[in-house]
Amino acid sequence: MATDEHIHQQILNAIVEHQLPPGARLPEDRLSEAFGVSRTGIRKVLQRLSLEHFVVIEKNKGAHVNRPSESEALEVLDSRILIEPQLIPALITHWNPEQSSRFRLMTKEEKQAEANGQLAEAIQLTARFHYELAHLSGNKVLASFVEQLCYRSSLILAAYGTRGSVGCECGDHAQLLDILDSGSAEDAQHWMSHHLKHIRSSLILESKEDTNIDFQRLFSR
Amino acid sequence: MATDEHIHQQILNAIVEHQLPPGARLPEDRLSEAFGVSRTGIRKVLQRLSLEHFVVIEKNKGAHVNRPSESEALEVLDSRILIEPQLIPALITHWNPEQSSRFRLMTKEEKQAEANGQLAEAIQLTARFHYELAHLSGNKVLASFVEQLCYRSSLILAAYGTRGSVGCECGDHAQLLDILDSGSAEDAQHWMSHHLKHIRSSLILESKEDTNIDFQRLFSR
DNA sequence: GTATCCATTATTGTATACAATAAAAAAGGA
DNA sequence: TCCTTTTTTATTGTATACAATAATGGATAC
């Protein structure tokens, strides 16, 4: 059975897992036959994905996977830097051993996926770690916005990411859990801020501009 | 000519201006004949409005204007309290006499609309004051989120607002402009925080629960 | 051989037709 | 008279048909 929600999740996964790279075309009839529904259902999903900034729909040209601009990439990270640390005080009031072990399991799976080279899994888990923390704050409005930002970040890393975007000298996500267990909201805020700023600064923003490629310079010798 | 964007804006205006009250039905064929387009175009707009939380679509039951829950109302305001003051430092770097006079004009129109009893105008201008400030921060991602929150706030005030929600003992929006002119980011942040908290606390959240009305208690004597 | 123009093709935009569902009204029985 | 059941009506969900647009490839003229 192919419900709207299901189709949406499938395509979104493919995008954030870099199966569908930035710029990839998403023809309606191809997708409709792939999912076994009519174009109507596909259009609805594509419409939604475009409002969520995962695809771009150009009139009479169809849907492409969004290729985030430099400014968009930075703004998404800046938004996270502004919001996620601020959620710590609220989430720490809901913090308990049960949550702690739940998140520790996630970081374990995360490391494993990374070690086994399961890129798609690793990306999903990294994003999930962040937005599930956000949901713990109790504010669903902010949490779902953060969730969207996390998914967008995955897409951004597909366009501008380096190997450094994954690792971080501040340690992995497990370290944040230690801090949360210790109960220091302030430390956790600092860690989160630092972590996100590290990701932001790891983006390489000059090279991958493929609009206006200077073919002259590229192929002349 | 009735483009998608135009229809969206029209319906959104009607909602935030309280012309279409929370709970109002939005039948597709009625709207389609009103705007002179087929149901297809209307459905697209309704879909979008539902993703933006202005309408709720129930399967096989159609679209209604969203009746925000208490928790949703509080979460929207909390989100604004968390974000909007944080945008002040960025926006103050773009502050200049030109912007100042532009916003002063807005507050003037705002007061006038309020004085003349033009409720719809006043609501729009109040929201606009906030989200245009947010856009001055330079972060389009956050600004458009704040914009949505401001519109949602207008809908929330339709459901839970009091007369106190409009006025505020901290003075009107013009006072913030004075602070911005003085250049004190910290003061501006405090003002914004206070202002939003005042709106939040002015909501009356007990009464208008019309789900689960206790008719027993209501009509027994 | 190259450039321009035209025709073909592929794809999306929009409207409509039909099916499915839920609400409302009517009929029947107690 | 009131409750239950059935029928009707209104409305939405989905697929498809047709129109409009843009991209591609080929033909013709120079």
Cβ of A145 within 8 Å of Cβ of B145? The answer is yes
- Give me the mean pLDDT over the A76-85 stretch: 98
**Per-residue model confidence (pLDDT) at position B208:** 45
- Check if CATH label 1.10.10.10 holds for domain B4-65: yes
To which H or E segment does residue B62 belong? Answer: strand B62-65
B142 CB inside 7 Å of strand D: no
With 80 as the cut, is the pLDDT of residue B59 above it?
Answer: yes
User: pLDDT band for position B213 (50/70/90)?
Assistant: very low
User: Average pLDDT of B178-205?
Assistant: 94
Q: Which neighbouring-strand residues pair with A55?
A: A65
- Note the pLDDT tens digit of each residue in A161-183: 776 566 555 568 999 999 999 99
Q: Where are the beta strands (DSSP E) in B49-168?
A: 55-58, 62-65
Facing residue for B47 by CB, picked from A47, A52, A86: A47
pLDDT at B119: 87
Domain limits, chain A: 4-65, 70-202
B91 and B143 Cβ atoms separated by less than 8 Å: no
Spatial CA neighbour of B86 closest among B192, B183, B182: B192
Structure tokens at A190: 């600092």
Measuring from the CA of residue A58 to each C1' atom, give the nucleotide at the shortest distance.
C12
Q: CA neighbours within 13 Å on the CB side: how many for B132?
A: 17
How far does chain B reach from its first CA to its final CA, in angstroms?
58
Query: Are A83 and B78 a contacting pair at CB < 8 A?
Result: no
How far is CA B126 from each of CA B106, B174, B203, rounded to the nearest angstrom? 9, 11, 17
- Beta bridge mates, A65: A55
Query: How near does any CA of chain B get to the CA of A130, in Å?
Result: 18
Token pair belonging to B81: 């309290």
Which nucleotide's C1' is closest to A43 (Cα)? C12
Q: How would DSSP label each residue in B25-56?
A: EE-HHHHHHHHTS-HHHHHHHHHHHHHTTSEE
Q: Quick check: B69 pLDDT over 70?
A: yes
Rounded Cα distance between A187 and A167, Å, is 20
At B211, list the tokens. 């789900």
Q: How far is B113 from chain A (nearest CA, A)?
A: 31
The span from the CA of A84 to the CA of B86, in Å, is 13
Give which of A100, A19, A94, A25 is closest to A56, Cα–Cα: A25
Q: What is the pLDDT of residues B158-184, one digit of tens each?
A: 888 776 666 555 568 999 999 999 999
What mean pLDDT is predicted for residues A125-146? 97
Q: Name the burial class of residue A115, with classes exposed (0-12), middle (13-18) and buried (19+) by CB atoms within 10 angstroms of its CB.
A: exposed
Quick check: A37 pLDDT over 50?
yes
The upper half-sphere exposure of residue A110, i.e. CA atoms within 13 Å in the direction of its Cβ, equals: 19
Which CATH number is B70-202's, of 1.20.120.530, 1.20.120.160, 3.90.1150.10, 1.20.1260.10?
Answer: 1.20.120.530
Please tell me which residue, A164 or B59, carries the higher pLDDT value.
B59
Task: Locate the chain B residue with the closest alpha carbon to A41.
Answer: B44
Percent of chain A at pLDDT above 70?
88
Choose among B44, B52, B141: nearest Cβ to A79: B141
Mean pLDDT of chain B: 89
Q: Which residues of B touch A (CB under 8 A)?
A: 44, 47-48, 51-52, 71-72, 75-76, 78-79, 82-83, 86, 139-142, 145, 149
Per-residue pLDDT at B212: 46
What pLDDT does residue B78 have?
98
Query: What pLDDT score was predicted for residue A179?
Result: 97
The model's pLDDT over A201-220, given as tens digits with 9 standing for 90+, comes to 988 776 544 455 555 555 55
So what's the pLDDT on residue B214? 46
What pLDDT, on a 0 to 100 scale, did the predictor assign at position B221? 37
Phi, psi of B2 (to 5 degrees): -120, 90
Q: Do A78 and B139 touch (CB under 8 A)?
A: yes
Q: Which chain B residues contact residue A52 at CB under 8 A? A: 51
Share of chain B above pLDDT 70, in %: 88
* Residue A6 CA distance to nucleotide C23 C1' (Å): 29
Give the integer Cα–Cα distance in Å for B210 and A39. 40
pLDDT at residue B218 tops 70: no
CB atoms within 10 A of CB A27: 12
Distance B45 CA to C18 C1' (A): 23
pLDDT for A140 beyond 50: yes
Contact A48 B51 (CB under 8 A): yes
| Complete edge-to-edge strand list for the sheet that includes strand B55-58 | B25-26, B62-65, B55-58
Please state the separation of Cα A116 from the chain's center in Å: 20
Closest among A105, A115, A99, A127 to A18, alpha carbons compared = A127
Among all protein residues, pick the one whose CA is nearest to the C1' atom of D12.
B60
- Kindly state the helix (H) or strand (E) to which residue B63 belongs, with its residue range: strand B62-65
